[in-house]
Amino acid sequence: MVALWEEAWAMWRAGGWGMIALAANCLLLFGMGSSIWLRLWGKGYRAVPESEWRQWLAQPEQRRGVIGRLLNTLLEARTLADLIRAADQRQIQFIYALSPGLDIRYSDETERDLLRRRFDQLLALGCRQFALLFDDIPDALNAADRERFGSFAAAQCHVANALFGWTRERCPQARFFFCPTAYCERMATAQLGGPHYLATVGAQLAPEIDVFWTGPEIISREISAAHVRTWQPVLRRKPVIWDNLHANDYDGRRFFCGPYAGRPLELRAEVTGLLANPNTEFPLNFVPLRTLAAFTRLPLTAEWDPRRAYLSAMGEWLPHFATLGPPLPLEDLIVFGDCYYLPHEEGPEAEAFYQSTRALLAQDPAGWGEGAAAWRRQAARLLRFCARLTELRRRPLFNALFRRAWELREELALLDYYVEFKSRPGQAAAPCRSDFHQPGVFRGGLVARLQQLLHLEPDGAWSPGLAAPPRETP
């Protein structure tokens, strides 16, 4: 150790006066480094072992803490930049949406500063369109916000207007969207967000900010031009329709590949735009987006035929169903699509099949005759199609369809077995049991049992249903 110090001292003397300047630089860098370290420590940053942050790079879901969030921001920024650039190249308007409503303190300047910092990041990445979403949140203010703003709507408008003005100063062509807490007629009628919520939004929100609206309901079967005209004076602007017609995030068992329907062409003249909220699974949105595009391109004087648009789009979608074997018939794809048509209705061929099944089962099996054979031929067509989906070359499409299609196949297989069994000589009155559809296994689970406890009436009212018998304990 003594020899080491002697060698260092010799090097210092040999350096002459230059060593003093070097030492000063070292002290300055050490001071700056210590200052940065102390500031980061105060903000909650801590050292992370190399083995851990390398694991975070490979497994993003394991990132945690401030450093984990910083790493997410850095990597997500690159992905967002690529996405924005790709959208621009395809003339697609990329909108960055932020939902601060769950925990924001509207009167706290720090909260607005956080929003500005995030939007500043997006502006640097090339984003020019932004949305603030205040939907699906508790409609209550804390004491400080209530004292300052007086109402939920006023607080939201204050934040939106401030952020809009700040963004426009940096990017004059920036466009802003606002999703209110009451975003459909039913919510507004129930005074979600407080009394006069939408009237306050209409009066206080900057007129350049567009407002999202879903129609009479969250998932509206129809949105008429007259309906939108009713709400224009309240909102003091033409709304942007946020259309949930094909959204399936509320029911994982369903998807919707029917056409854009229930909206007249004249609706386009009463709104600022139409925004589709599609199926969660991207491969399932070919027909919904294709027909929406066709809807927006037709002259307002033309006639919109959703079924014709659906059949045309199905023909365009068929090549995506290329298989390892013989091609799938377009007619079968149409029938399958009709089974997953729209939230409020099945397609005509699926509805006809359901009605024929219902009518057959309502009869005495002894009198089925040729009707049973005809029904089984229809069922076999759908059964074959569902089974052949396993041959699809496009595996993302197969993955999106598989669980839903297999559930349909299982129900069809049970019905087919029941009809076949009851059609046998002497079996019309005999109990039908299936080795492949056993209690507790088929249609099993707590969710299925809970669904039997309440019955939904056609008018939307709920009533006690026929409860399933208690499960036997071995």
CA dihedral sign, ordered 23, 29, 30, 35: positive
The answer to whether residues 211 and 200 touch, using CB atoms and an 8 Å cutoff, is: no
379 Cβ neighbours under 8 A, 6+ residues apart: 353, 412, 415, 416, 419
Q: Which of 108, 136, 249, 251 is catalytic?
A: 136
Q: Using CA atoms, how far apart are residues 471 and 439, in angstroms rounded to an integer?
A: 9
- The neighbouring-strand residues paired with 210 are 177
| DSSP alpha helix (H) spans, 97-207 | 109-124, 143-149, 152-170, 185-189, 197-204
In the numeric block, the tokens 């607005």 are attached to 112
Phi/psi for 141 (5° steps) reads: -110, 150
Long-range contacts of 374-381 (CB under 8 A, 24+ apart): 375/419, 376/416, 376/419, 376/420, 378/353, 379/353, 379/412, 379/415, 379/416, 379/419, 380/416, 381/332, 381/335
- Written as six digits, the tokens of 138 are 């508790």
Q: Using CA atoms, how far apart are residues 386 and 389, in angstroms rounded to an integer?
A: 5
> Is 136 labeled as catalytic in the residue annotation?
yes
Report CA Rg, the chain: 31
Q: Which residues are catalytic?
A: 136
